[in-house]
Structure 1
Amino acid sequence: MSWEKVFSCYFVTFLLWNTTITQSRSIKIAGFAGILALKSLNTGLINMAIKKTQVPPLTPNNHSANNNSPLIMIIDDSPDILKLLKDILDYHGYRVQPFTSGRAALKSMMIDVPDLILLDIKMPDMDGYEVCNHIKSKEKTGKVPVIFISGQNDTTDTVKSFNAGGVDYITKPFHLAEVLARVETHLSLRHLQKQLESQNIQLQKEIAEREKAEEELLRHKNNLEALVAQRTVELSKTNAELQQEIAERRHLEEALENANYKLHSLVYEYGLRNRRIAIFNKMSEQLQACLSREEAYPIINYFVQKLFPAKAGAIFIYDRQDNFFKTATSWKTTLLGEKKFTIEDCLSLQKKKMHISLDSQQESCCRHLCRAEGRSSICIPMLAQGDIFGILHLQKRTPSKLSRPKPLLDEASTDISIDIQHLAVTMADFFSLALVNIQLRETLKQQATRDPLTGLFNRRYMEDTMSREISRANRQGTPLGIIMLDLDHFRRFNNKFGHEAGDLALQEVGNFLQKNIRKEDIACRYGGEEFTLILPGASLEITRQRAEMLRHNVQNLKIKYKDKKLDNISFSLGVAIYPDHGQTQDAVIQAADEALYRAKHAGRKQVKLANNTKQPPGKNKSLPPPAN
């Protein structure tokens, strides 16, 4: 080969290097950005949201564990608790290591690292917090998820458990189904975390290989520059050959442009994934702070438009009382036929899987949507433990035939691509889990603060509320009215009609009180047939008037039990206000209670005011209780 052709080959190599080195550096930068973004993942709800698409659920397919089964360590000083948890986990195919001592468990896990730890807080040798601190301080066990088990249902213990490194908190007595659900959830989270770490290592290897290729290209570049310097003088003699090489270069540039397009698409895909992860993280953090589903809907509305910027849509939630799906939140302009509909109106609900309604196939459109040209849609059922919880619905405008080609994986595209479908399914699963968890927290809060029979607040809530209202009254310089009321002759009522009728009467009284108090007033069941009303800002006269109104109106309360009309109910009521009748919570309650007893001794069915004295708690003189 002549020196002219050698020079031509080096010249083309130089041009290829200039283009390729630029792409290599962009890939390197994108790779490092991906690593930094992946390391910032909130591995809690993100991994839970993709759980159904990557990790099969842990179900008791057989009743015997094997070496591949997850290893669960239980640390509890109670043999009964250990046996109960070990038996149920053995039955579901897990390997179980029970320990009654934290020290023995710590020594064992350094030999055989468990996949998950169930840890009791109160133990004689080392408490759960100290054991957890030892676990988290070791590199070998630091990432093992720890679920605390405690007989205390106190917020301070819960916060302390999470600060110590726990991932969850279960109170005794616990439901086995809840324990299994939490164990399966955190084992799945740990499995996904390991997958992500493995992917990060692989990505770092690829970056190292690309850096090595970049160094090789740099070496060739230096050689090429030396050769170009030698041949600069002779270029004028090879003009004809150079023209041919230019043509060849154009051909190579076209090939390089195609490769460049694919590389840009790959980099864009990494960037898009990282942006979605960042949005997902922010949404997860805000949803975790929600106390009700009504608080969650605006957050979902905001972030779902970030994830699907070119798509209109809505979320429908199933109302079990009305047996209808109702719109919880919607964004942009959606073509919805009805505000509420049944399972029969949506094809995805009937199939319990994603359904796509194409613009070109109007017969596939769900009945709850308005049929219109230029629109296609997707419906994804939101499932919770196999039951339908709601629907995630997305719509798009069909692009014109004359519209220009769109970039690969463009999240602003109006097309419902495979990528968008996968993301939508993941979001539907995540929204289901998030909303069900919020609903569970609402239910638990109701159970903790409400009397299950009457629906009124319980005594514990009353005591907490009284403390807050007294502090507010002190700050604002306003009174606080208290009414103590008791059902007259309720024991006689129970003996006459039975305890079931008595429970019905208490329920009706609870409904009556809720309907006959102000919005800011608080009705509580104090105990038995005795109730307490807290009236913020009410003076003594206003509180007395409210008590008289209740005494009068309850006479109109008609109660039927098994088609039989029961006796009318009457109230005896005692009235007191803070701070006139007591400087403390206990004192003002006692003053109202003594007024109630005076009303009973005076013949019942009347209102009595507290004595106008301010005595310390426990010093008020009380009458002996009358016969009920």
Structure 2
Amino acid sequence: MKPWLHSLNARSFIVQLLGLAVVLGAVGLFHLQTLRQSVHGEAARVGETAAAIFREELGQHPERLQPGVLQGVADRLSGKLVNVSRLRFLDASGTVVADSRPLQQDAPQQTVGGTRKGTIQITAPILGRYDPVRRSNQIGTVVVEVDLALAERRVRRSFLQSMLLLLALIPLYWLIEYFALGRSTSRRLRTTASAATALAAGDYSARARVRGRDEIGQLGSAFDAMAAELQSTHERLQLEIHERHEIQQRIGELNRILEAGVELAQTQNRVLGVLNELSRMLQASSSLTEALEILPGYCKTLLQDSSGMIYLLHPSRDHLERVAEFGAPQGDDDFFNPANCWALRLGKTHAARAGSPLLCAHIGDALPGVEYQCAPLQAQSDALGMLHLQFNDGEGEVEGAAQATRNLLVAALSEQVGIALANLKLRETLRQQSIKDPLTGLFNRRYLEETLQREIDRAQRIDDRLVVVMLDVDHFKRFNDTFGHDAGDHVLKQVGRILSTSTRSSDIACRHGGEEFVLVLPQAGIRDGIARAEQIRQLVAELSLNFGGRPLGPLTVSLGVASIDAQTRSADALLKRADELLFDAKRQGRDRVVAESDPDAVE
């Protein structure tokens, strides 16, 4: 019930009902105001009509003017005339010739001035033939009395019947309007409203499709045009939004690529900076040992998520030796054969994981989730060693870009380290060649002159002791002349080997020239020097040398021992004193040790 009350039909019905009530009320009020005027006018018209009929009946028939005939005519006419209560006929002299009986029994009987109350009297002449005596053609007069109350009741009854008929026609009108117009209007309005609701909900394809030339049809057409425009605008906006979304996605992708590029550039700059710093540090290193102490820290800085070990190829080239490590690498093999590493065999970086058939044999038991990389350290295609790396990546593998970056970094690091190690080895080789005797492997005279003066200055600065032992092979020319120079070289090598194995790490063993050797003993006195010299003399005397399948015979040496004192300020002076003592040993018969005078000297 409530939805119907809110419908357009209900509102139209209520408005029409209220309008009808207002119209009926106005009509009733107007009727009450004009009723009497209309009744009087109607009565006058009725009286005139009656007089006209009476004249027509009698005017052309003078023989009917007899009282009896007139009475009959009056009675007959009064029955035909509506609202006529009395009909009288007067002759030319004004005498009542005929008088009808009252047609309405309830008409008032009182007369006022010859006329009853509540009536209206109408007189009309009856004309006939001209009478020369009376000089008139009026043969009589008709007097008609109209009952006002009766006329009023009949008019009122007619008005009520009209109102009842109107009220009866109103439902019919409503039914006709509802079925003929209301349902069509309501249906078109509901269709338009449904389409508007669907459009508001986002269905831009909704259309009212209401046709007609009336306002509702125009409204439906306007709505469909608006919906079509909205749909077109929405599709255009959706296309623009889609294009903008694609542009934003492309911009986002470009931003990510740019950020990745910037991050990669920053990483590369950082790596290049660290590599350049590493290169400078390696170039500034004075020895291979110092360089190997620097390398692990830089490797950890460059490869933050890794651990590893550095191996160097032994001069014999039959094995690699672990010389440094960083992080916590797996495996404890300090040595392995070069054939056990794919990187050394292939001459390039090799990577593998647990379960791979190409896993290097020197790795041992590989851990899952760890990538192993071996990068050869080489220069000019000459293998120097190997950089072994372990990357703990967990369960998943590294993405392509990160893996490529890692591989490039490992390649750059191994190349840099390889070149640096080659330069250090070359530098070390050149240095050794400049300070070492190629035949005996002992330091040469040049190194002796540089080092001895430094050691003398140091000892005098800290008030320490220092001893120099000068050694010469007895009858060395005999070996050259008898067995050849190669045999002489063999003798010198053996003497050099004894000196190398009989000295401390702080001692300096040098070949002074020819068959003459010098031994510098820092922090040692005359007694220590004599003891060391005697030990060397005995070791040489115990040698049994053969060369070319021939025994070389006995070998002896003569030794002179000198130490620094307050007057000794230069290396040349100390070497001269030791040389003089050596000649004393030669003059005394060779194969002996001669030292400076000392309370503790051995006789």
TM class, shorter-chain normalised? 0.5 to 0.7
Structure 2 equivalent of residue 507 of structure 1: 493
Match of 1:423 in 2: 409
Alpha-carbon displacement from aligned partner over 1:391-411 (angstroms, at most 9, x marks no partner):
23332234435x9x98x966x
**Paired residue for 2:446?**
460
| Residue 283 (structure 1) aligned with residue 278 (structure 2) | yes
Structure 1 residues 602 and 285, CA gap change in structure 2 (3 angstroms) = same
Secondary structure of residue in 2 paired with 1:484:
strand
SS at match of 2:328: coil
**Partner residue, 1:535:** 521
Query: How many Å apart are 1:252 and its aligned residue?
Result: 5.8
Match of 1:496 in 2: 482
Residues 93-136 of structure 1, C-alpha deviations (whole Å, 9 max, x = no match): xxxxxxxxxxxxxxxxxxxxxxxxxxxxxxxxxxxxxxxxxxxx
| CA shift digits 1:538-568 (9 cap, x unpaired) | 2223322332333333221222212333222
Amino acid at match of 1:363: P
1:372 corresponds to which residue?
367
Aligned with 1:362 (options 343, 356, 359): 356
CA distance in 2, matches of 1:576, 1:471: 16
Distance 1:540 1:346 in 2: 54
The answer to whether 1:446 aligns with 2:432 is yes
Q: Equivalent residues in 2 for 1:86-485 (5 A)?
A: 253-321=248-316, 323-336=318-331, 338-359=333-354, 362-369=356-363, 370-400=365-395, 417-485=403-471
Q: CA deviation at 1:310?
A: 1.2
C-alpha separation between the residues in 1 aligned to 2:373 and 2:571?
58
Find out whether 1:569 has 2:564 as its counterpart.
Answer: no
Regions of 4+ moved over 6 Å: 243-251
Say which SS state the counterpart of residue 553 (structure 2) adopts.
coil
Q: Are 2:587 and 1:593 aligned? A: no
Distance 2:514 2:496 in 1: 12
Counterpart contact for 2:341–2:362, Cα < 8 Å: yes
Give the residue type in structure 2 aligned to 1:571: V
Letter in 1 for 2:378: L
Counting matched residue pairs gives: 364
Q: CA deviation at 1:284?
A: 0.9
Greater Cα radius of gyration, structure 1 or 2 = 2
In the superposition, the TM-score normalised over structure 2's length comes to 0.55
- What is the DSSP-based 3-state SS (H/G/I as helix, E as strand, rest coil) of the residue aligned with 1:364? coil
Hey, what's the Cα distance between the residues in 1 that align with 2:527 and 2:322? 46
Whether contact under 8 Å (1:595, 1:610) holds in the other structure is yes
**TM-score scaled by length of structure 1:** 0.53
Once residues 315 and 538 of structure 1 are traced to their aligned partners in structure 2, the CA distance between those partners, rounded to angstroms, is: 39
Tell me how far 1:338 sits from its aligned partner.
4.1
Deviation at 1:307, TM superposition (A): 1.6
Give how far 1:276 is off: 0.9
**Taking structure 1 as reference, are residues 285 and 563 closer, same or farther at Cα in structure 2, changes over 3 Å only?**
same
Cα deviation, residue 583, structure 1: 4.0
| CA-CA distance at 1:511 after TM superposition | 0.8
What is the identity, as a one-letter code, of the residue corresponding to 1:318?
L
- Residues in 1 aligned to 2:515 and 2:287: alpha-carbon distance in whole angstroms: 32
Query: Alpha-carbon deviation of 1:588?
Result: 2.2
Greater RCO (CA < 8 Å, at least 6 residues apart): 1
Between the aligned residues of both structures, percent identity stands at: 35
Structure 2 CA distance for aligned equivalents of residues 249 and 533 of structure 1: 87
Distance 1:506 1:486 in 2: 10
CA deviation string 1:306-347 (max 9, x = no partner):
222112233332224150123232322333484333333222
Q: CA deviation at 1:379?
A: 2.4
Query: What's the counterpart of residue 522 of structure 1?
Result: 508
Residues 516 and 319 of structure 1, relative CA distance in 2, 3 Å threshold = closer
Contact 1:524 1:533 survives alignment (8 Å) = yes
Q: Is the Cα–Cα contact under 8 Å of residues 269 and 409 in structure 1 kept in the other structure?
A: no
Partner of residue 544 from structure 1, selected from 530, 551, 563:
530
Q: Evaluate the alpha carbon distance shift between residue 423 and residue 593 of structure 1 in structure 2; reply closer, same or farther with a 3 A threshold.
A: same
- Residue equivalent to 1:143: none
What is the alpha-carbon distance in structure 2 between the residues aligned to residue 587 and residue 562 of structure 1? Answer: 41
Q: Which amino acid aligns with 1:522?
A: I
Amino acid aligned to 1:456: L
Deviations 1:127-158 (A, max 9, x none): xxxxxxxxxxxxxxxxxxxxxxxxxxxxxxxx
8 Å CA contact 2:340, 2:361 repeated in 1: yes
Distance in 1 of aligned mates of 2:333 and 2:459: 48
User: What is the CA-CA distance between 1:256 and the residue it aligns to?
Assistant: 3.9
Q: Is the 8 Å Cα contact of residues 573 and 607 (structure 1) preserved in structure 2?
A: yes
The one-letter code sitting in structure 2 at the alignment partner of 1:520 is S
Displacement of 1:535 in angstroms is: 1.6
Kindly provide the CA deviation profile for residues 193-232 of structure 1, in whole angstroms up to 9, marking residues without a partner as x: xxxxxxxxxxxxxxxxxxxxxxxxxxxxxxxxxxxxxxxx
Aligned partner of residue 594 in structure 2, secondary structure: strand
- Indicate conservation of the 8 Å contact 1:454/1:510, yes or no: yes
SS of aligned partner of 2:361: coil
Cα distance change on mapping 1:609 and 1:366 into 2, 3 Å: closer
SS at match of 1:362: coil
Change (3 A) 1:602 1:326: closer
Q: By how many angstroms is 1:377 displaced?
A: 2.2
Aligned to 1:51: none
Alpha-carbon distance in 2 for matches of 1:559, 1:540: 31
On the 8 A contact 1:337/1:367 being kept in 2, the answer is no
Distance 1:358 1:523 in 2: 51
Deviation at 1:576, TM superposition (A): 1.6
How far apart are the structure 1 equivalents of 2:586 and 2:571? 23
Aligned-residue Cα RMSD (Å) equals: 3.0
Amino acid at match of 1:471: D
Matched-pair contact (CA < 8 Å) for 2:498–2:539: no
CA distance in 2, matches of 1:589, 1:575: 10
State how 1:576-615 maps to structure 2 within 5 Å. 576-579=562-565, 582-610=568-596
Q: Write the letter of the residue equivalent to 2:258.
A: L
Q: Distance in 1 between matches of 2:387 and 2:456?
A: 46
Residues 609 and 375 of structure 1: is their aligned pair in 2 closer, same or farther, counting only changes over 3 Å? Answer: closer
Change (3 A) 1:430 1:580: same
Partners of 1:523 and 1:542 in 2: CA distance: 16
